[in-house]
Structure 1
Amino acid sequence: MAGLLTSSNGVSGSWVVSSVFVFVGVSAPAVVAWALGLLRTGTRQRRAAQRERVLRMATERTQQSVIAVAAERARIAREMHDVVAHSLSIVVAQADGGRYIAAQNPEAAAQVLETISTTGRSALRDMRRILGVLREGDANPTAPQPDAGGVDALVEQVRASGVSIELVRSGEPQDLPAGMGLAVYRICQEAMTNVMKHAGPVQRVRVRVDLAFHPGWLVVQVDDDGRGAATSSDGAGHGLVGMRERLALFGGTLQAGPRPGGGYRVNAAFPLPRAGGEHP
């Protein structure tokens, strides 16, 4: 009896062991195939995610490039408008006045021609500078830019065209960042250009330019007693748009419109940088 049981148990154990080996032998390839499938799926997903990241980064770089190009085009457009409009306004004013002066005062007519020549040459230099930044390998891409200190020469240039103009500085002067100094100069330049274009005969117009330093602010104001600008005070003209864009870079504000007593006023307020160089 015991022998039979032993024999029976041996047969049963062998069958179990054989079954296990058969199961493992049959299922192992399926398990391996399943594992390889998971691995391939994970690899495909990682590659797809990597491609998506690359495409997203390329799209972001393209968008940044488009924004940078648009900003540069706007900057160049502002510079070209300021330079060309101002210089041509002086040339036209001088040429118009020169026709009447030549017959009465030849010496004054010669001075008019000298002003036209000087203004034209200055405009050409500025145009070369602006166009130079568009060329790769420009020999002098960082030519000096005008700043707030150049407003005096700007006023003298306008005065030479026949405009009665005065410059008044007040408050405690403060050193300005290069970009802000250029913006102050260009806003004064554009305001004076508008006077010569829209205020009427330049010999009958009086202009006052104020550069006033207040605690935390620099206020630039240009007043004239002419007939006012042709553009509306909502800033629809290119010149006023350029002023607003320049001020926006520094968090400043612009008010432009007719004066209550006649004429036109441009008021630009720049927040001055704090001691650490930050703007308020």
Structure 2
Amino acid sequence: MSVTVRSPGSDPARPARPARLRMVLAWCGVGLYPLILFEAMPRVDFIVLDATVAVLLTIPVLALLRRHPWPAFGLLLFGWLTAVVVEQGRYGMVGLQVLVVDIAVALITIDRSRRASLATVTVAVPVQLACLLAYVHGNAVLPAVGSTVLAGIVAWMAGNSVRERRQHTAALATQATEQAVTAERLRIARELHDMVAHSIGVIAIQAGAGSRVIDTQPHEARNALSAIETTSRETLAGLRRMLGALRAADPDTAARPAPLDPAPGLADVQRLVKAALDAGVQVDIHRLGERRALPAELDLSAFRIIQEALTNVVRHAGTSRCQVTIDYQDEELTIDIVDDGRGCDLPAAGGFGIIGMRERTSLLHGQFTAGARPEGGFRVRARLPLPVEARFMEARSMEAR
């Protein structure tokens, strides 16, 4: 037996009734609009009061133009046409009629399609001219007709300009959202590739080596299994960190976030050296310049570039040695990974790894090169410029010393 508890005010029928009641009252008032306008205006003695009454009566009709444009616009035209005819020669009321109808045309143009707005102004201008020609005669006809037509065109152009600006703004917002989603998807793809591909490569090599020596050299097989376990745990921790970051916006998990390991950086390069050594490749690390703290994004990208380059060496180079040079310069960080293996042309070496390294470098406004060396082997080089803020803080720290 299930029990459903509703809090007061949660009944969906309750808010609908007042809304329906307001809508019925609004349409009753709008339906009586021509009659009220017809009756009220001739009883007022001054044109200023006439205009005030007309505007106050017109506001409810303009309010309904957004949701129900055609009935409201038809009532607006009919009411003003009747009022102008009854006014018996008050030319000022004709001008006010032109103003109100043009405002309605602009409001409809803002919310509706161009075809619908053109139909609206095509109907509105002849009605305005009919009201105008009932009072204007002689030489004043041509200027009055021209100004009325021009006012209608200006009202349509103003509404159309607002509508196009809204559409352009919405298109830019949609494009920005799509670009943000694409950038985030590529970032996740790079992280997964750099982390998982490296680990799977090491695991595959260790598993193959362990299976070959398990009968003859049990100790080496045990070492291979230990390396597989360590690599697997590190990869699992990285995946948990990534999933935790992706779930950070989830309201169910935001209140109780899981502890996250810090993102890796150049300080963790020795982990890569050990993993490569376990896979049979000795990595020589050379650090040039003064080691210092780097921005988090640059530090992570540098680590991932080295990680992917070493993965390619382990999996494809067919060599037992490679060299990694990390050069801390004043305005940039240079990373150079060189091996003396079989080497290959860039199209053959291409893949998601090379693409990912190039994307990481490009996002930091750096320069990336990769390709076979003339003397043999393969070289990966990334030049990552330091942000201006980081250089400024470094200069301040050196002055403080």
Residue of structure 2 equivalent to 1:191: 309
Residue of structure 1 equivalent to 2:200: 88
Equivalences for residues 48-87 of structure 1 within 5 A: 48=110, 49=159, 50-87=162-199
Equivalences for residues 167-206 of structure 1 within 5 A: 167-200=285-318, 204-206=319-321
Question: What secondary structure, in the 3-state scheme, does the structure 1 residue paired with 2:95 have?
Answer: helix
Q: Can you give the 5+ residue segments of structure 1 that lack an aligned partner in the other structure?
A: 1-24
Equivalences for residues 118-267 of structure 1 within 5 A: 118-135=230-247, 136-137=250-251, 138=253, 139-140=257-258, 143-200=261-318, 204-229=319-344, 232=347, 236-267=350-381
Greater per-residue helix proportion: 2
Deviation at 1:177, TM superposition (A): 0.2
Matched, 1:276 2:397: no
| Pair 1:260–1:230, CA change in 2 (3 A) | closer
In structure 1, C-alpha distance between the alignment counterparts of 2:215 and 2:345, rounded to whole Å: 32
**Deviates further, 136-145 or 30-39:** 136-145
Question: What secondary structure, in the 3-state scheme, does the structure 1 residue paired with 2:215 have?
Answer: helix
Deviation at 1:140, TM superposition (A): 3.8
Whether the 8 Å CA contact 1:221–1:266 is kept in 2: the answer is: yes
Q: Matched residues, percent identical?
A: 39
In structure 1, C-alpha distance between the alignment counterparts of 2:297 and 2:214, rounded to whole Å: 42
In structure 1, C-alpha distance between the alignment counterparts of 2:392 and 2:371, rounded to whole Å: 35
Aligned partner letter, 1:165: V
Aligned partner letter, 1:193: T
Deviation at 1:131, TM superposition (A): 3.0
Question: What secondary structure, in the 3-state scheme, does the structure 2 residue paired with 1:186 have?
Answer: helix
Whether the 8 Å CA contact 2:345–2:372 is kept in 1: the answer is: no
| Pair 1:131–1:161, CA change in 2 (3 A) | same
Whether the 8 Å CA contact 1:89–1:197 is kept in 2: the answer is: yes
| Pair 1:36–1:141, CA change in 2 (3 A) | farther
**Deviates further, 145-154 or 47-56:** 47-56
Whether the 8 Å CA contact 1:232–1:257 is kept in 2: the answer is: no
Deviations 1:95-128 (A, max 9, x none): 1222233233221211110000111121122222
In structure 2, C-alpha distance between the alignment counterparts of 1:72 and 1:182, rounded to whole Å: 16
Q: Can you give the 5+ residue segments of structure 2 that lack an aligned partner in the other structure?
A: 1-86, 111-158, 395-401
Greater per-residue strand proportion: 1
TM normalised by structure 1 equals 0.80
| Pair 1:168–1:104, CA change in 2 (3 A) | farther
Question: What secondary structure, in the 3-state scheme, does the structure 2 residue paired with 1:220 have?
Answer: strand
In structure 2, C-alpha distance between the alignment counterparts of 1:58 and 1:46, rounded to whole Å: 19
